[in-house]
Every structure is written in C-alpha cells, then in structure tokens.
Structure 1
Amino acid sequence: MQTGFRSGRYSESILFAIEEFTQLFQKYFPSEKQNPNELSDRPEVM
C-alpha cells in the first residue's frame, strides 16, 4: 500500500489492501452455511 501511495495510485492500493484482508479473514473466519444478518440494521439508542 505504501508503494502504491508513493506512486499516487491511492484507489488501487486501498482496493488491493481490502481484497488481501478479505481473503485473510475468509481463511480464518469462514462464513457458516446459513449466513443470517447477525447484526441488526436498526440503530441502537443508548
């Protein structure tokens, strides 16, 4: 990402980093067969 930023390729560098993190997370935290919406879409008032 640093190399891409130095070259002025900000968007490409960020998207590449997101893809790398996504693959890493999928490896260690695979989704279940049924993937319900685990977090509510409703705001929580505290």
Structure 2
Amino acid sequence: MQTGFRSGRYSESILSAIEEFTQLFQKYFPSEKQNPNELSDRPEVM
C-alpha cells in the first residue's frame, strides 16, 4: 500500500489492501452459517 501511495495509485492500493484483509478475515473468522450476512438488516434502537 505504501508503494502504491508513493506512486500516486491511491484507489488501486486501498482496494488491494481491502482484498488482502478480506482474505485474512475469511481464513481466521470463517462464516459459520450458509448466510454470509451474519448481521441483522434491521436497525437497532438504543
């Protein structure tokens, strides 16, 4: 990401970093259900 930022490729660098984080999260925190959306779509009133 730093190399990309130095060369001015901000969007590409950020998207690449997000993809790498996504792969790590999927590896260490796999989905436990068939539904990949594990959070409720309903708003929470506090």
Q: TM class, shorter-chain normalised? A: 0.7 to 0.9
1: CA distance, partners of 2:45 / 2:22: 30
2: CA distance, partners of 1:2 / 1:33: 36
Q: Identity percentage over the alignment?
A: 98
- RMSD, matched Cα: 1.7
TM-score by length of 2: 0.76
Aligned residues: 46
Q: Structure 2 unaligned segments of length 5 or more: list them.
A: none
The structure 1 segments of at least 4 consecutive aligned residues displaced by more than 6 Å after TM superposition are: none
Q: Structure 1 unaligned segments of length 5 or more: list them.
A: none
CA, structure 1 residues 36+6, in 2 after alignment: closer, same or farther (shift >3 Å)? closer
